[in-house]
Amino acid sequence: MDHSPLDDAPTGGPLDGVLVADFSRVLAGPYATMMLGDLGATVVKVEGPGGDDTRTWKPPVRTDPEHGNIATYYLSINRNKRSVVLDLRDPADLAAAHRLAERADVVVENMKPGGMARFGLDHAAVAERNPSVVYCSISGFGDRGGAHLPGYDLLVQAVSGLMSVTGAADGPPYRAGVAVFDVLTGLHAALAVTAALQHRERTGEGQLLRTNLLAVAMSTLVNQTEAYVAAGAVPHRMGNEHPSVFPYQPMPTGDGELIVIAANDAQFRKLATVLGDPAMAEDPRFTTMSDRITHRVEIEQRLRARLATRSAQEWYTAITAAGVPCGPINSVAEGVALAEELGLDPVVRAPDAAAVPTVRNPVDYSATPPSYRRSPPPAGADSAEVRDWLDR
């Protein structure tokens, strides 16, 4: 497939030369295609006349002199893409969408199951014209019994059981503070696409990939779902406590809370020593993790009594120096500052006129690092360029 006219300058990324037709919107799909774009793929984001939903999800906003107030939600998941506006109900625009899908190495979509078929853009139709295409469909609840259900992260957090284990033991269920299953579905989709491209490299065969938020939720609830399927134990809300590790929670100090973790016996012995109560680790009630879980109330009383004698900062310094995990409960701003302090360089900018700050791809590659070539585009910013290429 010759799609070089749309390629960025070679970056050494592992997906250089791969063309992704991105028919997705909101979060899971756009997150996946941003990950592919970071690795060098050329991503063409297809938007309807109203643009991606997240363009309207304000506040917060970033004020741009040329384009006004831009939703930071949209900015967080759409770098390294070109935007073309196509109205799939318009015959000419639909023909352009077909040409794009025919030339693409990868198609990503998250319409409701059956939605792409209305436009002749489903996997069967695209693969007939483009047999080697890697086609990734993302939905909320799969394309069988849940095909009619809308896929929103909050809904999946509720029905999957996540909210039943989030919140205080005697309080109401809570959602996570971020759309965790959308993000994790995007990551699974990106991983699946790269695996399918490797398969195509070996065999020449494309394939259909399907994932959904509920299936991802079942997988990424990990120990909580496994507790039920393997042991019949139904997890419940425990606030900030952990069902299988103690201590593993915020603990009060002389002037504020501190996260304190002892995930194994050696860490618990070190913690007891640095707190000035080494006998605690020798108590036969507290010797193993299972013992500590059984007697967590007694241990917590002793921990609280010791931690109350000094400030959070003093304990943070001492406990960390002893090799035991602990840390403050930061704001997002403080979290970014910590990442900067630790040399993780969390903020990146593309070398274009917009230079919008976004959050760094979280993986370092020694040979094929991610690149940040394009800031998130305004709706239709690349329509003329893409349409001209499609008409050739």
3-class secondary structure per residue, 179-233: CHHHHHHHHHHHHHHHHHHHHHHHHCCCEEEEEEHHHHHHHHCHHHHHHHHHHCC
Neighbours of 307 (CB within 10 A): 20
* 347 vs 155: CA distance, rounded Å: 31
- Give CA 2 to chain center in angstroms: 32
**CB 78, CB 20: distance < 8 Å:** no
- Residue 350 CB contacts under 8 Å (≥ 6 apart), including other chains: 79, 80, 356, 372, 373, 374, 375
Alpha carbon separation from 208 to 14, 169, 249, 254 (Å, rounded): 21, 42, 42, 57
| 392 residues of the chain, pLDDT tens digit each | 344 456 666 777 999 999 999 999 999 999 999 999 999 999 999 999 999 999 999 999 999 888 889 999 999 999 999 999 999 999 999 999 999 999 999 999 999 999 999 999 999 999 999 999 999 999 999 999 999 998 999 999 999 999 999 999 999 999 999 999 999 999 999 999 999 999 999 999 999 999 999 999 999 999 999 999 999 999 999 888 898 999 999 999 999 999 999 999 999 999 999 999 999 999 999 999 999 999 999 999 999 999 999 999 999 999 999 999 999 999 999 999 999 999 999 999 999 988 999 999 999 999 999 999 999 999 999 999 999 999 88
Token readout for 228 is 């039920």
Q: How far apart are the first and last CA of the chain?
A: 13
Up-side HSE of residue 103: CA atoms within 13 Å toward CB?
22
Q: Which CATH number fits domain 248-330: 3.40.50.2000, 3.30.1540.10, 3.90.400.10, 1.20.1090.10?
A: 3.30.1540.10
Alpha carbon separation from 303 to 157, 217, 307 (Å, rounded): 33, 35, 6
Whether the domain at 4-221+346-390 and the domain at 248-330 fall into the same CATH topology: no
Backbone φ and ψ of 220, nearest 5°: -90, 0
* 351 vs 116: CA distance, rounded Å: 35
pLDDT at 8: 62
The Cα diameter of the chain in Å comes to 79
For helices 213-220 and 180-203, angle between their N-to-C axes, nearest 10 degrees: 100
Backbone φ and ψ of 347, nearest 5°: -110, 130
Task: Determine if the peptide bond prior to 235 is cis (ω within 30°).
Answer: no
pLDDT at 3: 41
pTM greater than 0.85 (yes/no): yes
pLDDT at 388: 93
* Fold of domain 4-221+346-390: Rossmann fold (3.40.50)
Domain range summary for the chain, segments of one domain joined by + = 4-221+346-390, 248-330
Check the CA dihedral 217-38-346-380 and report its sign. negative
- Give CA 303 to chain center in angstroms: 35
pLDDT at 64: 86
Helix boundaries (H) for 232-355: 265-274, 279-282, 289-294, 296-307, 312-321, 332-341
Pairing of the two strands 106-109 and 19-23: parallel
Edge-to-edge strands of the sheet including 81-85? Answer: 81-85, 42-47, 19-23, 106-109, 134-139, 207-212
182 is catalytic: yes
For helices 222-231 and 213-220, angle between their N-to-C axes, nearest 10 degrees: 80
Q: What is the DSSP string of 88-140?
A: TTSHHHHHHHHHHHHH-SEEEE-SSTTTGGGGT-SHHHHHHH-TT-EEEEEES
User: Among 64, 182, 255, 277, which one carries the catalytic annotation?
Assistant: 182
CA angle 162, 191, 33 (to 5 degrees): 90
CA dihedral (105, 360, 212, 181) in degrees, to 10, reads 180
